Amino acid sequence: MINGEITTSYKRILSNGISIPEMGFGTDIAQTWRNSSNRVTKIYRRTKQYYKLVKSKNFKRLKVDNSLPKIVKYAPKLNCRLFDTSRAYGGSEYVLGHELKGYNRDDYFIITKLSNFDQKNKTVKEAIISSLEQLNMDYVDLYLIHWPQTDTYLKSWKQMEQIYKEGLCRAIGVCNFNIHHLEELKKVAEIMPMVNQFECHPLFTQNNLIDYCNENGIQVMAYTPTGRMDFRLKRNRKLEIISKNYNKSIPQIILRWHMQNGNIPIVNTTKLDHLRENMDIFDFELTNQEVEQINSININSRLRYDPDNCDFDRL
């Protein structure tokens, strides 16, 4: 319990028995780098400098988003206790470590990831230790392989099993793995991933992959869960009608749809009001028919990188 304010429990149980919140906050600030000048990009990649920069008076002049520390600090008070980061998300690990210091370690759930760079250039143990240093924590709750880099992911997985056994993380999993990656993994794995985090939203519902994960005891975690509020969702007639029925916004309807489908959505926002809104989805329930209507919006439209067709070195 944090200052007596947190009331909800960790609702989902992973295959190794640990519990995890049913909804989370994604802290990818890489988007901000791309919008910024080269100078800012360089500063962003150095983690502590990023933190000092966003806290500095000069920051406004640089015109890049500085909302992350404020949102992270406030999030647990809104019962948002799952935080998704990565070694590839610039200073976000450092921000989490810094802003969550005042809370009990048991009251938040940290996910970080083995970046593509580290997968090629470090051992998995070296990579997680460097993340733990940034986070200022002794363990992470969930450690994920960020992308199925063709030549390295099977070898990395064997090392992931090792760091799990050593207690550096409470659970292990993968991101962006398609069925064929998971089938390859099965051949060498002693422990199967507890989570697969991948792109999923009403424009791209990934039914086959979700069925496969459910059949194999792998918890689905949905990234880009609101489809970045793409105009095709903002103006979708079915969503508009359901939204009016419950007096909830379209993002709230979409996040509730994820939860009722068994996914853990990790949504990003730069606005506290949006975070408050996104966490306020526990007082209504969609009917099966409404869930089906939202399922039917799918047009297999991927908004992010395709793990079977991308340049891992540039992610």
Ligand X SMILES: NC(=O)c1ccc[n+]([C@@H]2O[C@H](COP(=O)([O-])OP(=O)(O)OC[C@H]3O[C@@H](n4cnc5c(N)ncnc54)[C@H](OP(=O)(O)O)[C@@H]3O)[C@@H](O)[C@H]2O)c1
Gap between the Cα atoms of 198 and 307, Å rounded: 10
Q: Of 70-78, 102-110, 210-218, 224-232, which part binds ligand X (CB under 6 A)?
A: 224-232
Give the dihedral of Cα atoms 248, 83, 186, 198; nearest 10 deg: 40
Structure tokens belonging to residue 234:
């903002």
Look-up of token digits 């991948």: 198
Annotation marks residue 305 as catalytic: no
Residue with smaller CB distance to ligand X, 168 or 267 = 267
| 271 lies in the binding site for ligand X (CB under 6 A) | yes
3-state helix, strand, coil in the chain (%, to 5): 45, 15, 40
Angle formed by the axes of helices 237-246 and 288-295, to 10°?
Answer: 150
| 259 lies in the binding site for ligand X (CB under 6 A) | no
Instruction: Supply angle C-alpha 282, 221, 173, rounded to 5.
Output: 140
Of 50, 89, 103, 223, which is the active-site residue? 89
| 118 lies in the binding site for ligand X (CB under 6 A) | no
| 109 lies in the binding site for ligand X (CB under 6 A) | no
The closest alpha carbon to 130, from 104, 170, 108, 97, belongs to 97
| 226 lies in the binding site for ligand X (CB under 6 A) | yes
**Residues 293, 202 contacting (CB under 8 angstroms):** no
Nearby residues of 105 by Cβ (< 8 Å), 6 or more positions away: 137
Q: Of 4-12, 156-164, 177-185, 271-279, which part binds ligand X (CB under 6 A)?
A: 271-279
Residue with smaller CB distance to ligand X, 236 or 269 = 269
Least distance CB 197 / ligand X (angstroms):
5
Among 172, 233, 259, 266, binds ligand X (CB under 6 A): 266
| 260 lies in the binding site for ligand X (CB under 6 A) | no
Binding mask 174-213 for ligand X (x = CB under 6 A): -xx--------------------x----------------
Gap between the Cα atoms of 205 and 90, Å rounded: 29
Residue with smaller CB distance to ligand X, 90 or 251 = 251
Side-chain half-sphere of 46: how many Cα atoms within 13 Å? 8
Least distance CB 84 / ligand X (angstroms):
4
| 251 lies in the binding site for ligand X (CB under 6 A) | yes
Q: Give me the active site residues, please.
A: 89
State the residues that interact with ligand X by CB under 6 A.
26-28, 84, 146, 175-176, 197, 223-229, 249, 251, 266-271, 274, 277-278, 304
